[in-house]
Amino acid sequence: MARPVLSAARRQAVAVSIATGAYGLSFGALSVAAGLDLWQTMALSLLVFSGGSQFAFVGVLGAGGTAAAAVATSTFLGIRNGFYGVALAEVLRPLRGARLAWGAQVTIDESTAVSLAQPHDDLAERRAGFWWAGVGVFALWNAITIVGALLGQSLGDPATWGLDAAAGAAFLGLVWPRLGSRRAQAVAGIAAVVALALTPLLPAGVPILVAALVGVAAGWRAPAHAEEVPE
């Protein structure tokens, strides 16, 4: 009976990997448009490996922000991945050494969501969902990032193709599914107003960091029954 259950988890992971990996095309093109070369773009996908953080990084650079602001914004968004390890403690507990490091690298939104979406009384199923989604997204994201970067180098002026505005659109696409509740919508609206109000006053990237504090404050006061699984 185990094989059909594991196959279902793997099918979910493959579907998620393909859908998420496709975003790598946009990231690669946007990264080059923001001033990074092919190798820097590849390094971001290999080492950072967090779509939201990567889009935020190139978005800040593309808007004229400093490298420090880009790194701070990217790091701030990437902190959430560390908390996923708490929810996945049972799944990751047997790992040691290099396997533990690799597991940490592929602990992302998608691998966490697929793993925790499986029945909690079947560890084998949850582990299959985690590894197939994590490794699948990693492979496709990095491969398609290269394609996007190569295409971006041949497009010329990014404004001609609308790439100068695509980073914000791509990031909105990542955030939109998480705005299903009124609370989330209210927090997002307040954060947007804060960012817009501070944009004329502060260097590029800094308003995003300040607006993020709105989300931190809201999360700190979130009710105990808040959802634990990312969508």
Given a cut of 50, is residue 35 above it in pLDDT? yes
At residue 18, the pLDDT reads 87
Closest CA to 181 of 114, 117, 227: 227
pLDDT at 132: 94
In a domain? residue 198: yes
Nearest by Cα to 228 from 38, 80, 104: 80
Classify 230 in phi/psi space as left (phi over 0), alpha (psi -120 to 50) or beta: beta
The residue with greater pLDDT, 10 or 6, is: 10
CB-based contact 207:65 (threshold 8 Å): no
Query: Is 15 inside a domain boundary?
Result: yes
Does the residue 9 lie in any domain?
Answer: yes
How distant is the alpha carbon of residue 22 from its chain centre?
13
Number of domains in the chain: 1
Position 169 confidence tier, pLDDT thresholds 50, 70, 90? low
Closest CA to 211 of 189, 228, 231: 189
For residues 187 and 6, which has the higher predicted lDDT (pLDDT)? Answer: 187
Q: Residue holding tokens 């990231």?
A: 27
Assigned domain for 125 exists: yes
* Residue 210 located in a structural domain: yes
Residue 231 lies in a domain: no
Looking at the predicted structure, is the pLDDT value of residue 4 above 60?
no
What's residue 96's pLDDT?
A: 84
- The mean pLDDT of 31-52, rounded to a whole number, is 90
Average pLDDT, the chain: 79
Enclosing domain of residue 101: 2-220
**pTM for the whole structure:** 0.69
Given a cut of 70, is residue 17 above it in pLDDT? yes
- Is residue 230 in some structural domain? no
Indicate if the pLDDT at residue 174 is higher than 60.
Answer: no
| 30-52 per-residue burial string, b: 16 or more CB within 10 A, e: under 16 | bbbbbebebeebbebbeeebbbb
What's the mean pLDDT in 91-116? 87
pLDDT tens digits for 63-91? 787 888 888 878 877 887 888 888 888 88
Asked if residue 6 belongs to a domain, the reply is yes
